[in-house]
Amino acid sequence: MNVTVVLPSLNPDEKLNSVVDGLIEKGFTDIVIVNDGSNAEHLKPFEKAAEHPEVTVLTHEVNKGKGRGLKTAFEFVLENRPESKGVVTVDGDGQHTSHDIYNCAKRMVDEKDKVVLGCRDFDSPGVPPKSRFGNKTTSRVFSMFCGMKISDTQTGLRAIPREFLPLLVATKGERFEYETEMFFALHKAHISWVEEKIDTVYIDDNSETHFNPFLDSIKIYRIILKFIFKYTLSSLICCVIDIGLFNLLNVLLAHSTVLDDIKIGTKVGEFFVKVFSGGNDTIALKVLIATVVARIVSSIVNYFLNKNAVFESKTSVKKSMWKYYILCFAQMILAAAGVFALSALFGGGEALEGLVYKPIVDVLLFLGSYQIQQRWVFR
């Protein structure tokens, strides 16, 4: 199929050559192994693998991480394998069967313009509980906060067409977090992927993995949660703008005589004057103007921050701004309706409505708005 197998490895045992033998038996003729700074006691598996004419061994003098190992192999393929249609990345510990590796590589060649992910079934009886919980949790977080549905976010079996390798070489990340960064790079470039079901194999409860459950998980979740952090920061910035501009206009208009002779007409206007200013048209206008201007300015700032910094969307202003303001209006209605509903269900009162119900409703709308902006407004 003219597909290169990429296999990064650190301090391997005899299973490395079992994987190599299985690949050769399956018909793969180009296998690139990256020795990622293994110590002297673990060099024999690389030497034995290099005896096969189908195998090329690249070496890092010091350990640089799985991400750097993959990039080294990708660069090698781009420079030295002009006929290769792409790569299929595998782990050297025997968790990926040669049958599954072949199926992923073949599907990539057949579909041409898609990355193929070899995905495990974490409901299988042989899956260690910590792996089942960790992978399912990460998959849900990916879907909720990143808008990407991936059933196996940590799979090392990935078949990637050659045309996408330059993008992935330029993608940041040197260690296990790189495999997560790959998804964001592909997603941002509008490159789709498909899932290929594979056997779920755990050897000795996955005891030989170099994945650090604490440190590497922090790096991975830091990548995922940076979106919700930027979204929160954007909202806080605009909240400060809204409050600051309201107070500035309120003060300026209070010392101005421009509004003194203006009267508010219509039933709605009269209601506004009565409720918010005790019947004083000037105070009512001052509050109304300050509120509307501050909200318009802060919402415009929020729109562009979310579009360009949070979701990094290439959607045009013409296509997304009207969606954004529909969402803003819907949120305003739902905020009032939510507080009213909680008050009706559990009892009212200013303290409960202001200090309990409204914060609950606002947090739910905040998270819901994130989802809608990500999947609809700035898709």
Cα distance between residue 303 and residue 299, in whole Å? 6
- The answer, yes or no, to whether residue 272 has pLDDT greater than 50, is no
Whether 200 and 261 map to the same domain: the answer is no
130 and 243, same domain (yes or no): no
pLDDT score at 216: 54
CATH number for the domain harbouring residue 8:
3.90.550.10
Lowest-confidence pick of 27-36, 112-121, 136-145, 306-315:
136-145
Q: Where are the alpha helices (DSSP H) in 170-314?
A: 177-188, 215-254, 267-277, 281-305
- Whether residue 190 is found in the same domain as residue 267: no
Inform me whether the pLDDT recorded for 163 exceeds 90: yes
Looking at residue 177, its pLDDT comes to: 82
Whether 243 and 169 share a structural domain? no
Determine the structural domain holding residue 362 and report its residue range: 227-377
Q: How far is CA 229 from the centre of its chain?
A: 12
The end-to-end CA distance of the chain, in Å, is 36
- Identify the residue with better confidence: 204 or 168: 168
Cβ count near 282 (within 10 Å): 20
**Residue ending a domain, choose from 161, 180, 211:** 211
Evaluate whether residue 216 is within a structural domain.
Answer: no
Q: Of 211, 243, 278, which residue is a domain's last?
A: 211
Round to whole Å and give the CA distance between 307 and 292: 22
Say yes or no: 17 and 146 in one domain.
Answer: yes
Q: What mean pLDDT comes out for the span 5-25?
A: 91
- Residues whose CB falls within 8 Å of the CB of residue 1, separated by 6 or more in sequence, listed in order: 85, 105, 106, 109
Inter-residue contact 342 to 360 (CB < 8 Å)? yes
pTM: 0.70
- Residue 322's pLDDT is 93
Shared domain check, 130 and 16: yes
The string of pLDDT tens digits covering residues 106-122 is 999 998 889 999 988 87
- Residue 29 resides in a domain: yes
Q: Do residues 197 and 267 share a domain?
A: no
Residues constituting the chain: 379
Sheet containing 158-161, strands listed edge to edge, beginning at the edge strand earlier in sequence = 55-60, 31-36, 3-9, 86-89, 158-161, 115-119, 193-197
> What confidence score (pLDDT) does residue 350 get?
65
Whether 259 shows a pLDDT value over 90: the answer reads no
In angstroms, the Cα distances linking 322 to 138, 142, 292, 306, 326 are 33, 27, 18, 14, 6
Report the run of H or E that residue 5 belongs to, with start and end.
strand 3-9
220 within some domain: no
On the question of pLDDT at 271 being above 80, the answer is no
Highest mean pLDDT: which range of 157-166, 270-279, 330-339: 157-166
Mean pLDDT of the chain: 82
> Is the per-residue pLDDT at 50 higher than 80?
yes
The β-bridge relationship of strands 31-36 and 55-60 is parallel
Tell whether 219 is covered by a domain.
no
Give mean pLDDT, residues 280-306.
Answer: 76
Q: For the chain, what is the domain count?
A: 2
The reply to whether 53 and 156 lie within a common domain is yes
In a domain, 71, yes or no: yes
